[in-house]
Amino acid sequence: MNLQSNDFEIFGLPERFALDRADLDARWKDLQRQAHPDRFASADPASQRQAMQWSVRINEAYQRLKDPIKRAAYLCELRGAPIEAENNTAMPTDFLVQQMQWREDLDEADGADALERMADEVAAARRARIATLQRGLDEQGDAAAAAREVRALMFIERFARDLESRLDQQGQ
């Protein structure tokens, strides 16, 4: 294992979407305990620098693996289907209609109750998309389809923030 190892290799995990969050957290703490720069405070400068690089790399990998959308995007990239959200907006076709409907519903929502119902619907859609994503990556091995699901989830995350903002405005 070296600094160029992939995130899963660093954490000693199989390259799968499904993971046990408590296990990931425990592995992160163990890796940080081993590589933390404070352990190398009296070591030579090269060892201190290397400890700092490892600590940064472990944290970077942990941040990516603990977030389901970032983990999925990373797996898609490892499997040759990069997300490229800036210039590739391909999403599941059924989601495109849903996306437009949610935007219209948000524009027309006239109170906290309507917004909270939408937030529940969006949260349920997020859970369903993550389950689809997991099947696509771990069972079907279809990284291209998973990449489309990741793009849909990226929209859902942005839309959920917009919804939360509208709900915050209702509270004022």
Taking the C-alpha atoms of residue 25 and residue 8, their distance in angstroms, rounded to an integer, is 13
Instruction: Extract the tokens encoding 22.
Output: 């408590």
**155: closest CA among 89, 106, 107?**
89
**Residue 14 and residue 8 in contact, taking contact as beta carbons nearer than 8 Å:** yes
**Residue 152 and residue 129 in contact, taking contact as beta carbons nearer than 8 Å:** yes
Check residue 138 and report its DSSP letter.
Answer: I
Q: What is the largest CA-CA distance in the chain?
A: 64
Q: Kindly report, as residue ranges, where domains of CATH 1.20.1280 are found in the chain.
A: 93-171
Q: What is the pLDDT of residue 110?
A: 87
Q: Kindly report, as residue ranges, where domains of CATH 1.10.287.110 are found in the chain.
A: 7-66
CATH 1.10.287.110 is the classification of domain 7-66: yes
Q: What is the mean pLDDT of each run of 10 residues along the chain (172 residues)?
A: 91 97 97 89 89 95 97 97 86 86 93 93 96 95 93 95 91 66
Alpha-carbon dihedral angle through residues 84, 154, 110, 171, given to the nearest 10 degrees: -120
**Residue 40 and residue 48 in contact, taking contact as beta carbons nearer than 8 Å:** yes
pTM of the entire structure?
A: 0.88
**What are the Cα distances from residue 17, in Å, to 67, 85, 148?**
10, 20, 15
How is domain 93-171 classified at the CATH fold level?
Monooxygenase (1.20.1280)
Q: What is the pLDDT of residue 37?
A: 83
Looking up tokens 């939408």 gives 118
Q: What is the pLDDT of residue 36?
A: 87
Other CB atoms within 10 Å distance of the CB of residue 124: 10
Q: What is the pLDDT of residue 172?
A: 55
**What are the Cα distances from residue 125, in Å, to 52, 68, 102, 149, 171?**
40, 15, 11, 11, 25
Ranges of H-type helices in 17-142? 21-35, 45-66, 68-78, 93-108, 112-134
Looking up tokens 């995130």 gives 7
